[in-house]
């Protein structure tokens, strides 16, 4: 038995989500909105990718071996129908979401400064993937290690 899956994903999404505290109680679950496909270009690109995946699977080489197509059904034709299907399939995101506490100027929706300190706080730092301001086209592990090394340097050798 052979299984074939075509997966499409955005390597550099333009959609921007948000995360916020949910009141004064630190034990309350934060308010998180990933806003997947909220940017029109992201939505258009994923629709085009899904259409292309269907075209590939309809090639003669695959017709005889594909027993069960799961996504989307043949009734999906218009871009609006494709978008609904793509958004429905987005329950599983294969990216490593970043940028919930972006290292950017505060007036551009940044959360931390170049010292990794949260704007408006005395000495609260964020040291993880959430400070990366854009999605990177690779596994983020090495970038996160570099952020941690830089944070250690900033903490051990504070500037005045």
Mind telling me the catalytic residues? 96, 139
Instruction: Kindly write down the DSSP assignment for every residue of the chain, as one continuous string.
Output: ----------SS-----EEE--SS-TTSPPEEE--TT-SHHHHHHHHHHHHHHHHHHTSHHHHTT-----SS-TT--SHHHHHHHHHHHTTS--S----TT-BS-GGGT--B-TT-BBTTSSS-B--SGGG-SS--SS-SHHHHHHHHHHHHHHHHS---
């Amino acid at each position: 038995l052979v299984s074939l899956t075509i997966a499409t994903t955005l390597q550099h999404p333009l959609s921007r989500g948000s995360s916020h505290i949910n009141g004064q109680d630190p034990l309350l679950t934060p308010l998180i909105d990933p806003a997947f496909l909220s940017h029109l270009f992201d939505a258009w690109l994923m629709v085009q990718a899904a259409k292309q995946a269907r075209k590939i699977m309809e090639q003669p080489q695959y017709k005889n071996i594909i027993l069960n197509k799961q996504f989307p059904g043949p009734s999906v034709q218009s871009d609006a129908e494709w978008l609904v299907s793509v958004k429905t399939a987005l329950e599983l995101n294969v990216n490593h979401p970043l940028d919930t506490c972006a290292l950017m100027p505060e007036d551009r929706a940044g959360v931390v400064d170049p010292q990794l300190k949260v704007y408006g706080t005395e000495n609260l730092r964020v040291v993880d993937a959430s400070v990366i301001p854009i999605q990177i086209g690779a596994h983020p592990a090495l970038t996160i290690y570099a952020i941690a090394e830089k944070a250690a340097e900033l903490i051990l050798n504070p500037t005045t």
